[in-house]
Amino acid sequence: MAEHYLSGERVHQCWDNSLSPLLTIDPGDTVVLETRDASNGHLTPYSTLSDYQNRPTGKGHPLTGPIAIRGAEPGDTLVVEILELKHKGWGWTGFRPGFGLLADEFPESYFTIWRLERDMGSFRPDIRLPLAPFCGVMGVAPHEPGTFPTIAPAAHGGNMDIRHLTQGSTLFLPVFVPGALFSVGDGHAAQGDGEVCGTGIEAPLVVTLRFHLRPQEHLPEPQFFTPTLLSPRAQAQGFYVTTGYHSDLMECTRKAIRYMIEHLVRHHNLSREEAYILCSTAVDLKISEVVDAPHWIVSAYLPQSIFV
């Protein structure tokens, strides 16, 4: 049961099952590792909108790994215990043209820096968000040979952006190649279910993971266990909720977020851009019903406790 360390000095920016592992471990071993932020270190706590607009793009998320787990074989399940996630005191959120749920309605780039204290984050003095760090990307090498972008998640995991993969959670991933070849990155200090503007609180993290195998236990796609959904503090003042009905779930989602942005602008004195950022980092999307044909409902939940 060794403990290993893997720095963020070497990263890979695509999925490719022919990549050589940086580290090979035994089942039961723990790895403490560093993940770069999604900008690959280009942005800092002092960055501006101009820095955000001028950063290099086009390459994928910088991922720490691959880590090979001895004995892992296709058809096994890789068990990843998420033991600890630590931020480094800052993060950023931004959106850019052509990306995000409401790309057509936000044609200009926007960018903000978050100051992160121990377990709270802020980008305006009147907003304090409870932090719940997780890695947006966790995955194993895909089954198919070749080079794949990191942006879209798939059966091997990858850029899942599931906000409840927090400390204390356990992720189950199907194994497709010998050794599994696990990689991780895209740390978020907080994010709402949906990540609607395309980014959470993007942050470099220090991550502690422990790995196990479940031989010959096949999963079709990633599954996980999470111990808690909401802290008592996050629930403390209830939730304001907007709803959107439509015959298409994506359109339901757009309506619910549009109404939430209007609500935040009107009642909480935010700009439309700040409201969109807050929807992406703090508002949770739930599918309220998918059976009352022809109209489904998606609802957007805003925790009232974030307003100081």
Residue 104's identity, in one-letter code, is D
Task: Report the nearest approach of a copy of itself to the CB of residue 140 (Å).
Answer: 15
Near a copy of itself by CB under 8 A: residue from 160, 190, 203, 209: 160
Q: Is 210 among the residues that bind a copy of itself (CB under 8 A)?
A: no
Near a copy of itself by CB under 8 A: residue from 40, 77, 281, 299: 299
Q: Is 298 among the residues that bind a copy of itself (CB under 8 A)?
A: yes
Q: Which residues pair with 127 in a beta bridge?
A: 307
Hey, what are 218's tokens?
């096949």
Task: Report the nearest approach of a copy of itself to the CB of residue 131 (Å).
Answer: 18
C-alpha dihedral sign at 34, 37, 43, 46: negative
| Site size with a copy of itself, rule: CB under 8 A | 63
Q: Is 93 among the residues that bind a copy of itself (CB under 8 A)?
A: no
DSSP string, 150-180: SSS-BTTEEE---TT-BTT-EEEEE--STT-
Q: Is 34 among the residues that bind a copy of itself (CB under 8 A)?
A: no
Give the number of other CB atoms < 10 A from CB of residue 58: 6
Pairing of strands 296-303, 239-246: antiparallel
Give the number of other CB atoms < 10 A from CB of residue 193: 16
Hey, what are 285's tokens?
């999307």
Task: Report the nearest approach of a copy of itself to the CB of residue 196 (Å).
Answer: 6
Near a copy of itself by CB under 8 A: residue from 194, 201, 211, 268: 194
Angle, CA 288 vertex, CA 163 and CA 258 arms, to 5°: 75
The CA distance from 242 to 259, in Å, is 6
Near a copy of itself by CB under 8 A: residue from 263, 265, 272, 307: 263
Q: Is 107 among the residues that bind a copy of itself (CB under 8 A)?
A: no
Nearest Cα neighbor of 124 from 282, 244, 255 is 282
Of residues 222 through 261, those in contact with a copy of itself by CB under 8 A are 222-230, 235, 238-245, 249-250, 253, 255, 259
Q: Is 83 among the residues that bind a copy of itself (CB under 8 A)?
A: no
Q: Is 307 among the residues that bind a copy of itself (CB under 8 A)?
A: no
**Which region among 22-30, 67-75, 116-124, 279-287 touches a copy of itself (by CB under 8 A)?**
279-287
The CA distance from 30 to 27, in Å, is 9
The CA distance from 205 to 118, in Å, is 13
Q: Is 49 among the residues that bind a copy of itself (CB under 8 A)?
A: no
Nearest CB to a copy of itself, comparing residues 90 and 224: 224
Q: Is 75 among the residues that bind a copy of itself (CB under 8 A)?
A: no
The CA distance from 158 to 144, in Å, is 14
Q: Where on the chain is the footprint of a copy of itself (CB under 8 A)?
A: 99-101, 151-155, 159-164, 193-198, 220-230, 235, 238-245, 249-250, 253, 255, 259, 263, 284-299, 301
